[in-house]
Structure 1
């Protein structure tokens, strides 16, 4: 089973946001650090999930276990419902993607167990800030 750790982060709420994805596959690891644009922290968490699901599908993974420190994302996926209608489209897309796997699990984990994905998400924000700073100096 493929273990996928995800996290979203925002520098402000809303603010520049990033997604971190850490995939463990039979001893091999892959790390993804993505800039997401301006959004809230909860939106960043959902976008981290969406990107992770797409990466796993592109790699042909059939059985995955997502680990997230976002209670909102894990509960929403398990219950297939979100109270805040602003997240409904994100949840709907995530549910559609998750149904393409033979087996899909999502589990909430404490932040202390998700440090790698958290750092990758923060790197996504920093990369964008550094790129913006370099662009302004040119």
Structure 2
């Protein structure tokens, strides 16, 4: 399997400095700063990138699990809400709330819910993050 890379460049001190985060192949690039991370400033931040990675991984894992169960989805749309909180150990990602909506012809609600939870448990990014952060899932079957 390929090894994926990303990089970050930072100039200046913590509160007045700024930097750029980018993926290895250049698909994503964004400016970040103290304000974009800890306040409501313009730009991105590491937690948003974790959220994007988690939402993307979960959507793919869920689509595969649905297809493997004989219910190929028309679409899967996932949002990840990453909670960065101050703890005794310092700033910590404590929780990620996955909210997914999927159009899946012919699946019943019970099977949909089970497959959604199984996908959360088997998504590689969920497996990476779950020892340190609580991961919740709100899966909605839409038409």
What TM-score comes out, normalization by structure 1 length?
0.33
Q: Which has the higher helix share?
A: 1
Which is bigger in relative contact order (C-alpha 8 A, separation at least 6)?
A: 1
Greater C-alpha Rg: 2
Q: Which has the higher strand share?
A: 2
